A and B are shown apart, each in its own frame.
Chain A
Amino acid sequence: MTGIDLITEYMIAALLVIGGVFALVGSFGLLKLRDTMQRLHAPTKASTVGVGSALIASMLYFHLIAGKTSWHELMITLFIFLTAPITANFIAKAQMHSAVARKDLPDTGVGTDWATYDPEVKSVGSGLVDPTIIR
């Protein structure tokens, strides 16, 4: 085995270990942290880095050792990095509207109420969310 091969192998191994540790920290934070808004931090940040690291390790492996280049991993990495903030925002909004009373919600800053309470939409408070808190 030549020196370059050894360096490549160590690099891929390091990326795999880093990815595994980050994913483990993210999933452990989901159990460990105290309330939902704090728990939102762990998986959306740490697990995203973990899976990104594993995907880049896979890309390097197929390019440098197996000898066939594939760009699918880069696509998956980009997709996960782009969608993680969106899901985090949606989950945070769902949590805020189901756990915080309407009068305690922060100001929207644009002079109107939160769009979730738009009176034209009759479907708010479908039974999934406690109507005594919402209305």
Chain B
Amino acid sequence: MRSLLNRTTRWLYARIRSSIVTRTTLAIVALSLILGLSFASFVATSVENREQKRGELVLQQLLSTIERTAQIACYLKDRTLAAEIAQGLMRNRAVSGVSILSGGASLAEVGNTTLTAKSRINNSVIARPIFSPFDGSEKVGELSLFVDRAAIHAEAASDSRASTLAMGIQAALVAVGVAIAVYLFSTRPMKGISTELHRMRIESGARLRVPATNRYDEIGTLVTDVNALIASLEGLLTTERELRIAHEIGERKLRLIVEKAETGLFVMDERGVLESWNPAFVRLLQLTPEQLPQSGITPLQQLLGPHSTRLSQLLSQCLNTGQPYDLDLDMAPAGSPRPMWIEVTLNPIGPTALQGVVNDITDRKQTELSAQELASQDTLTGLLNRRGLDARLGAMFLAPLPDSVSQLALLQIDLDRFKEVNDGHGHESGDRVLRHVARILERNVRRGDLIARPGGDEFVIVLAGISDRSKAEEIASAIIAEIERPIDIGGHHVLIGASVGIAFAAREGDSPEGLARRADFAMYAAKRAGRGRVCLAPEPEPAQTDAVA
């Protein structure tokens, strides 16, 4: 029983939640019930009050009606007449007893004419003095009507019940009528539309049907509006699909371009981890199948080997400034005769993403290098000029192996009596002498050593990998000896000499400038000592390097 009630409640709750029809009907019925009941109770009370008053009024009127006869009966003490009156009054259901007194004696007494304390609650007495019909001042008797209030009450209650019932039936009928009307005119078409809309598939081209009876009302408007919405939605969907297709085509084209591009393209995050790249990228970085990066895992630094530090610097530069930066990298594998240069350009496209471009710049780089070489060469002798010497010497100092620095020896060579040749035989002769000396120097050093003519009649030789200091002296002496031999300048022979100062690079804290200065110093010492000789510069005290300079 209880579970049945629970089930019913749950079913009803579900219906109320899911069905407008049920909800509306229940709401109308509940409202009618509440209104009907409260109104009925009000009506019941008022009807009962009215009926009770009316009952009493009826009794009063009844008394007035029989008054004249009662007057006569009392006047004449006519018991028959009095009894007749009493019987007549008793016909009224509300009258429980009648007593007619005249001159202290009872003329008539019908029904219950005693009032006990208990019956007094429900009963009351309407007593009327009866005056002589011929003399209004002479009281001839008294008529007492014992009223049964319960009867009046019951009658009133029954009247009230009847009208309440009528009202209840009316309320119920109205509720049913309203519920049917709401169902027919509102909820049923709404439910139909709702079901139809629920089953409808957008893009099927289907539209809601406007219920014939609702064509011109709010439901009709709603359906029309919903249809318009569906139409515009379909339009939007079509447009979007077209856009998507166009976008896909565009993307495919772009991908094709990227795939086929000669330029390496890639995207990476702020740490350098690669996200995507094209085949050209792989080709330009000369990656073997084992080296192929994994998206989201492999950092670009790992692929660049020795250049990883420079790439990291470039990365932070890019991210700090938000500007694009580029970097030229020598990608020629060690020992490879073919040079290979790439340019990596990083372009920040957000705080955590960068887009990169890799280009093969080997050709450009070679052109650049030969131009640089040109700029670093002495056009007269083909040796390095001062700029070339500085650059190459600087590079030697920057070389990653400090041991080779300590093995550097710099020979500062100054020609003696060259000014006389130049002044006596002209510049062309001087140039010829300088070219002659250059060949001598070239003959006396190994490949990899530097030979330069920084200017005028001074020459510099940088010997790399000198393990024995006397070897440098030997080379210097051999050079001096060769230079002192007569030089043919086209029919004439001239004699010049050379003074050489040698400095060795210190193991620590040395610089190209310090080395050159010490060699220069030693060379002057040789000149002062009488020319044509070699002077060694003293080893610099590490702390005094600058002071000596």
Q: Judge: A and B partners, yes or no.
A: no
Footprint of A on B, CB under 8 Å? none
